[in-house]
Structure 1
């Protein structure tokens, strides 16, 4: 099930990010407005427009967030492996999981080491 969701998510994100989509959406909006104008924009027309637009935006937001989370996890894994295989201190591995104060302390310590090395 999880594999299927990831496959569908990747396909939807690729489709939503395609360069033809904005042109299609503009054409669809123009047709939607023309049809609405021909019906004198009944109240249900605005309600349907608002509902469909909100659902589409919410769906795309969830797909993009899922894709970004997966990409960020892969990036962190690659960076951890680079740290592990280099001369960098292993305390930098999984720094993103520490709280903000600990990360700031690590950053200050690193900048202090750079300053000492320059002298």
Structure 2
């Protein structure tokens, strides 16, 4: 089930991120509005399409967030492995899980080390 969701999510993100999608959607909305006004669709019809459009956008945003979170987790795992295999201090591993003050302290310490080694 999880694998299937990932496949659907990746396909939806790939589709939603294509450069032709916004142009196609704007053309479709303009056509839909023109047809609706010329045929005098009732007000409820426009409310229904507005609600469906909002739900679709919300769903696509959730899929994009899911994909971005998965990509960031993979990126952090790769960076952690690079830190582990290099001469860098292991205190940088999983820095993203620390609070903002701790990260700023680590950054300041690193900046101080760079300044000392340059002198």
Distance 1:93 1:71 in 2: 17
How many residue pairs get matched? Answer: 119
Aligned runs of 1:45-84 on 2, under 5 Å? 45-84=45-84
Distance 1:17 1:118 in 2: 44
What is the CA distance between 1:55 and its match in structure 2?
0.6
What is the CA distance between 1:41 and its match in structure 2?
5.0
| TM-score normalised according to structure 2 size | 0.94
Distance 1:7 1:80 in 2: 26
Aligned runs of 1:78-117 on 2, under 5 Å? 78-117=78-117
Unaligned runs of 5+ in 1: none
What is the CA distance between 1:34 and its match in structure 2?
1.1
Moved over 2 A (4+): 39-42
Q: Does 1:43 align with 2:18?
A: no
